[in-house]
Structure 1
């Protein structure tokens, strides 16, 4: 299979399948609409491309040399994802209260990538699978990040659009709360494997 085609297929499958990024974007679209959700949507798409570039220039090796740092990122990442799950679960209640709920910002989307277990797996897999040491490594790394950047927009955008469509169907407060609880639950479920891994690590220490 052609090199570029292989990366494109990997990028599409990775970006369009369910995960913390897409769940968060869909929930934001359902609660705030497309326009107000654009900052976090752009932050996610651009943030992951930046993450890929940084992985390629050595961040992956740093975490291999200092596993404690990797462990700390996983720990704080898990806590942050659980906090996002809480924000999603309470979005409908906050939006009907005196304090208006606010959508996540661009920087939330960017920083979210470093705390997202799926993003770590995809970034590590992409760099390992589609780069060759000594064969113009940095050019390959740039190509991978650029392809992911291009295809993240339509793939993640599908979830944002779907969420905004649901907004018209979730006009009642009760339906909105049920939807947000479901999205929050999915986000928590995506964190469970990391929680189990961290638990095993701390038990064995």
Structure 2
């Protein structure tokens, strides 16, 4: 039974990695923030993303998401909040001073609250965790302990995938000290952020329309 449970847990992580690690609003924003402002300045935003994504995971696990999204206009409001903050974040990333050009001001740096808001309003997180919880099964455990194991494994994955993207953005920043190249990369990240959130919002709207 233990061997089977371990195998099920590894299967859950294997399924979660491409879904959670693929480019989306949260992970792209982590990379973009680290690239534009440096890794130390990006850490509060990273922890906000982690906390917000973990909140979505708990909402899925406890069934709160179903109750919330059953409310009239709840899904469009969440999507709208995420889109509005992403527009603001994309502007901040695109206009951030290139590292080495001049220090970025504290007021320009996305912080914990911004990361949390984006993660909670991220349509991709609801879709991914909903699919993982519905499709995965840990053998030999009652429903409550099984849910706890899933939450623990997926929370570890939340920390890991966002950290990988954060470090990738920070590593990229080392090579982007040239003003024109750095500005172009910042703008490129901002456009990718807008495309990712636009795609996620479109998927949510399309799913609602075609139900």
| CA distance 1:142–1:47, shift in 2 (3 Å) | farther
- More helix by percentage: 1
1:126 aligns with 2:129: no
1:115 aligns with 2:113: no
Task: Say whether the 8 Å CA contact 1:56–1:138 is kept in structure 2.
Answer: no
SS of the aligned residue for 1:104 comes to coil
Which of 169, 177, 180 is residue 175 of structure 2 equivalent to?
Answer: 169
TM-score (norm 2): 0.80
| CA distance 1:49–1:144, shift in 2 (3 Å) | farther
| CA distance 1:95–1:114, shift in 2 (3 Å) | farther
Other-structure match for 2:17: 12
Which of 23, 27, 41 is residue 28 of structure 2 equivalent to?
Answer: 23
SS of the aligned residue for 2:109 comes to coil
Q: How much has 1:199 moved relative to structure 2? A: 7.7
Q: How much has 1:166 moved relative to structure 2? A: 1.7
SS of the aligned residue for 2:35 comes to helix
CA RMSD of aligned residues (A): 3.1
TM-score (norm 1): 0.82
SS of the aligned residue for 1:92 comes to coil
Distance in 2 (CA, whole Å) between partners of 1:157 and 1:36 is 14
Which of 67, 77, 80 is residue 62 of structure 1 equivalent to?
Answer: 67
Consecutive unaligned residues in structure 2, runs of 5 or more: none
Other-structure match for 1:142: 148
Q: How much has 1:180 moved relative to structure 2? A: 1.0
Moved over 4 A (4+): 93-99, 194-201
When the two structures are aligned, how many residues end up with a matched partner? 201
Task: Say whether the 8 Å CA contact 2:94–2:187 is kept in structure 1.
Answer: yes
Other-structure match for 2:109: 103
Consecutive unaligned residues in structure 1, runs of 5 or more: none
